[in-house]
Amino acid sequence: MQSDTKPRWERRKDARPQELLAAALDLFVDRGYAATRLEDVARRAGVSKGTLYLYFENKEELFKAVVRDNIVAVIGRAEIDVAAADSTSCNELLRAMLRRWWADVASTRASGLAKLMVAEAGNFPEIARFYNEEVISRGHALIGSIVRRGVERGEFMPVDPEMMTRVLTAPVTMLMLWAHSFDPCCGPVDAEAFLDTWLGLVERGMARPV
């Protein structure tokens, strides 16, 4: 294996964008959008505020980068996998994608961004539009494409793909919000048991009668 021959200061410079994104994610989730200050993000990442501005023009651009790095990238990889899984049954594919969303986003620190959007979207319409376009609409389109494929193949009941997508995604969203709102006072929900129960209900409800 070839060793990294770059000087330590250069390796550190290459890592700074990811360090800033990690620090920003923590602060956005802990404090919300309005209360997160760029100087605090820089301090958390161990750099100056001026250094942060070398990579991100303002707080809105930093927030967008956090969302793209932690959520949009996951959706992009899932889109590629769904397009390549033409021979997989739509029921298996739907289960895989919903579980993947839970594993890669909903059970991670990034799930706190959903609570942030629910709480602050009304005060920051620009980031609300961005989140809707790049996360909600794109994620819904992906799930909707699986539902539509299943209906066309006769694997699912003839349902409205757009409406069914909203029905499918709402429980996961609620579970994310619970984890970031009620866990400390009411205790956590067993996510695996929840997903098993919910996906079983989905499978039975969408199955075409034999």
- Which range of residues forms the domain containing residue 194? 59-206
Residue 63 lies in a domain: yes
150 near 94, Cβ under 8 Å? yes
Q: In CATH, what number is assigned to the domain containing residue 132?
A: 1.10.357.10
Percent of the chain residues topping a pLDDT of 90? 80
**For position 181, what pLDDT does the model report?**
85
Domain count across the chain: 1
pLDDT tens-digit map of 49-94: 999 999 999 999 999 999 999 999 999 999 999 999 989 999 999 9
pTM confidence score: 0.88
**For position 76, what pLDDT does the model report?**
97
Residue 25 lies in a domain: no
**Confidence check: pLDDT of 95 > 60:** yes
pLDDT tens-digit map of 142-165: 999 999 999 999 999 999 999 999
**Confidence check: pLDDT of 7 > 60:** no
Cα separation, 38 vs 53, in Å, equals: 9
pLDDT confidence tier of residue 29, bands split at 50, 70 and 90: very high
pLDDT tens-digit map of 109-122: 999 999 999 999 99
Residue 51 lies in a domain: no
